[in-house]
Structure 1
Amino acid sequence: MARSKEFEENAVLEKAMKLFWEQGYEKTSMNDLVECMGIHRRSLYDTFTDKRTLFLKAMDRFEDRISTRLAAGAKQSNTALEAVEFVFDFMINGEEDTPPGCMLVNSAVELGIRDADVDAKAKEAFAKVERLLEEIIAWGQRNGEFTKRHDAKALAEVLHNALTGLRVMARTSVDKAKLRRIAKLSMHILEKAAD
């Protein structure tokens, strides 16, 4: 007779995600995972196969979580500028009870050049944020908030590059006021001039 699972898969995956987010893939041992997730080693293997598969699922969970929150926040904004500000604020401040920075950026830096699956997941997640920014910028261009000197895609790429740098800096002890100044100056590229 098969034993039933004594844990909820999404709950333990959330714990693993936060641990990988904080420590990275290579620094996180199987013992760390078993202890953090509160499950037996055999259950971890039975449910997630191995550490790498668990890590890739944790990356997917993180990406889904961030994409959902960014899209919802942007949709609730009254103006395109408010939406862009929301994205920058979210990336700088993060969420309560989560590690600083971004698991996808951390994973891309740690493993992207050596692991094709991690690289593909990070690139797709970055592209999704760029598409969201492009949609917001196009909205701002249509309603006269943002410059039309550059197309929305190019502006989104530049802003995403700034966001990536901010997500790296958020992992350090850099003062959030500095990060906000960088964000504000980065958003100046959207300002209308004599188009």
Structure 2
Amino acid sequence: MAGRRQFDEKQVLEQVLNVFWHQGYGATSMADLAIATGVQRGSLYNAYHDKEALFLRVFKDYKDAFLADAAARLAHPDLRQALLDFFDFTIESLTAGTPARGCLSTKTATDTRAGTEPIRAALQGLLDGLECVLAERLSQDDAAGLLTVPPVEAARVLVTMTRGNVVIESVYRDPSRLRAAAKTLVDMIIHAG
């Protein structure tokens, strides 16, 4: 029937996300996406218009899930443990797979072929959302008097550390090194006590 998708959209979008995550935006073609999904290029173009629109579609789902998972990991009642759980989540995410898949947002941010304004805005949306999730947790009553810097500044530093962890992981391939650095940062932003 005309206008009706002849494929399982949820499954196709998961496969598309996986290709972008492993190959990177610039190295991925619509032909790659067609092969990975089993959906002809023409059908992908008809449904999503172009590669950038398709990327933005899957990135929104990725962002929403990532932020929800980050918030869930920050729910621990002990602030220090909540932050360590948060870093465990981000480290697990970027080291998953063989070879490790890395970080979709950082991989895209450093891809010179992904520098369009809509993609940049999507990346900013994820990072701003992550800062917001962290700042909300750091502003809860149990955090009062524990931070060495204001919640918004601490959130920004924590997000910056997650991006740095991506680079260090790609060089050393050592999650324990990332966890140790994260623990040091947490110790620096929470008063000893």
Contact conserved, 2:149 with 2:189, CA < 8 A, in 1?
no
Paired residues of 2:19 and 2:28 also in contact (CA < 8 A) = yes
State the TM-score, normalizing by the size of structure 1: 0.86
1:151 paired with 2:153, answer no
**Which SS does the other structure have where 2:139 is aligned?**
helix
Q: Residue 35 of structure 1 aligns with which residue? A: 35
Q: Which residue of 1 aligns with 2:80?
A: 81
Q: State the superposition RMSD in angstroms.
A: 2.3
Task: Measure, in 2, the Cα distance between the counterparts of 1:16 and 1:33.
Answer: 6
Residue in 2 aligned with 1:59? 59
Q: Which structure 2 residues correspond to residues 1-195 of structure 1 after superposition, within 5 A?
A: 1-2=1-2, 4-75=4-75, 77-94=76-93, 100-111=101-112, 114-139=115-140, 140-142=142-144, 144=145, 146-147=146-147, 149-193=148-192
How far has the Cα of 1:13 moved from its partner? 0.9
Q: Deviation at 1:97?
A: 5.2
Alpha carbons of 1:22 and 1:169: their partners in 2 closer, same or farther (altered >3 Å)?
A: farther
What is the rounded CA distance, in whole Å, between the counterparts of 2:122 and 2:170 in structure 1?
21
**Cα distance 1:154–1:42, how it changes in 2: closer, same or farther (>3 A)?**
same
- Partner-residue secondary structure (3-state), 1:57: helix
CA 1:172–1:34 in 2, change beyond 3 Å: closer, same or farther? farther
Distance 1:17 1:164, change over 3 A: same
CA–CA separation in structure 1 for the residues paired with 2:33 and 2:170: 21
* Distance in 2 of aligned mates of 1:191 and 1:106: 30
Asked whether the 8 Å contact 1:84–1:136 carries over to 2, the reply is no
CA offsets per residue over residues 150-190 of structure 1, 9 Å max, x none? 21111111111111111333345521111111111111222
CA distance in 2, matches of 1:114, 1:4: 32
Alignment CA distance shift 1:22-1:15 (3 Å): same
Per the TM alignment, residue 24 of structure 1 is displaced from its structure 2 partner at its CA by 0.8
Q: Which runs of 4+ in 1 moved over 6 A?
A: none
Give the total of aligned pairs: 190
Deviation of the 1:44 alpha carbon:
0.7
Give me the TM-score of the superposition, normalised by structure 2: 0.87
SS at match of 1:170: helix
Structure 1, unpaired ranges of 5+: none
Q: Note the alpha carbon deviations across 1:85-114, whole angstroms, 9 max, x for none.
A: 111001111185595322111111114883
Matches of 2:53 and 2:114 in 1, distance apart? Answer: 18
- Counterparts of 1:10 and 1:177 in 2: how far apart (Å)? 34
Distance in 1 (CA, whole Å) between partners of 2:16 and 2:114 is 23
